[in-house]
Amino acid sequence: MNDLTELFNKLFVNFNYIVAATLFVIGLYTVIAKSNLIKKFMGLNIIETSVFLFIVSSGAIVGGKAPIIGEGVSSKTAFVNPIPQALILTGIVVAMSTTAVALSLMIKLYEQCGTLNADKLKELK
């Protein structure tokens, strides 16, 4: 009983992480199960977003402020962790780049084959 309470406690404290894991899995399901290429790609974007959510949550501090140090503010605990924010900026740019390449591939596929359904594309081969 005690273990169970502790587990629930942890689930509650790390709620953002659990949500990130769930989103990751939803995205993974979309990538594997859907046959429309655009939906597949949306699944990929969901996975990427879930990882960003996880990273940015791991930098959160209760009651923390944005780490911009102005005049007279220098207390250490007042700021959130800046590293994850710097990391997801990179991550977002990478995700955007992948999206651009994937969309251009889909434009070309649609021009050539007239469909974006993975099953139909397999038949066209």
Considering only residues 23 through 82, tell me which ones interact with another protein, judged by CB under 8 A.
24-25, 28-29, 31-33, 37, 40-41, 44, 47-48, 51, 54-55, 57-62, 66-70, 74, 76-77, 79, 81-82
Nearer to another protein, 1 or 66 (CB): 66
Distance, CA of 121 to CA of 2 (rounded, Å): 55
The residue among 1 and 79 lying less far from another protein, judged by its C-beta, is 79
d(CA 123, CA 61) in angstroms, rounded, equals: 53
- Least gap, CB of 98 to another protein (angstroms): 5
CB 81 within 8 A of CB 61: yes
Q: How far is the CB of 1 from another protein (least distance, A)?
A: 18
Number of residues that bind another protein (CB under 8 A): 73
Least distance from another protein to the Cβ atom of residue 32, Å: 5
How far apart CA 58 and CA 85 sit, in angstroms, is 10
For residue 40, which of 97, 108, 113, 119 has the smallest C-alpha distance? 119
Structure tokens of 122?
């397999």
Other C-beta atoms lying within 10 Å of the C-beta of residue 56: 18
Closest distance of CB 18 from another protein, Å: 6
